[in-house]
Amino acid sequence: MADSLPPPIRLRPARALRRASGIALPAMVFLVVVVSLMLAAGLLMLTQSQHSQSLQIQAARALAAAKSGTEWGLWQVSDPDGALGLAGDTLPPCFATRSLPLPSPLSDLTVEVSCEREPAVGTVDEGGLKLASYRVRAQASTGGSSANDRVQREFEARHTVCKNPGATAPRFAC
């Protein structure tokens, strides 16, 4: 009967077990560091993307405000209804550079509108018609001058106004 017993099981010494169990800790630390770096990079990309989208929206708003400022300026120099009461051979003068207040969703934007007239005084005679050309420029901006969220857009339009001194008042239409 003594011959039928299985051979005895050999147990490892405690020292060998301690050396083998330490390999998991460096692997876990490495894995945690790599995952943390990936999460930080993803969060940074998300933040930059949101900032970029915010700047694109601000740029679109600033461009719309600059276009509106230009349209306002063109209306000032066109005098389509003869509301300025000018004679048939006199064309409207340029207005002084002006800052336009904007209503509520655009109130954070600053719009400056300026005008240049050619010729500065008088008119150009084209076969009895009186002409003057205007260059209206509007600049819209938001944010501080050195801020990383500053947006500035400029829009310019050129317009030629014509009057016919021989036509009927008040428009003297060409």
The per-residue pLDDT for range 92-145, each reduced to its tens digit, is 999 999 999 988 888 889 999 999 999 988 889 998 899 999 999 999 999 777
Domain residue extents for the chain: 21-163
Q: Position of tokens 């400056």?
A: 112
Buried b (16+ CB within 10 A) or exposed e, 78-90: ebeeeeeebebbb
Query: Does 172 score more than 90 pLDDT?
Result: no
**What pLDDT score was predicted for residue 152?**
93
- The residue type of 50 is Q
The per-residue pLDDT for range 83-93, each reduced to its tens digit, is 888 888 888 99
The per-residue pLDDT for range 46-89, each reduced to its tens digit, is 888 888 898 899 999 999 999 999 999 999 998 877 788 888 88
- Name the residue among 137, 118, 143, 134 with its Cα closest to residue 59: 143
Q: Position of tokens 């719009």?
A: 111
Give the residue with greater pLDDT, 95 vs 11. Answer: 95
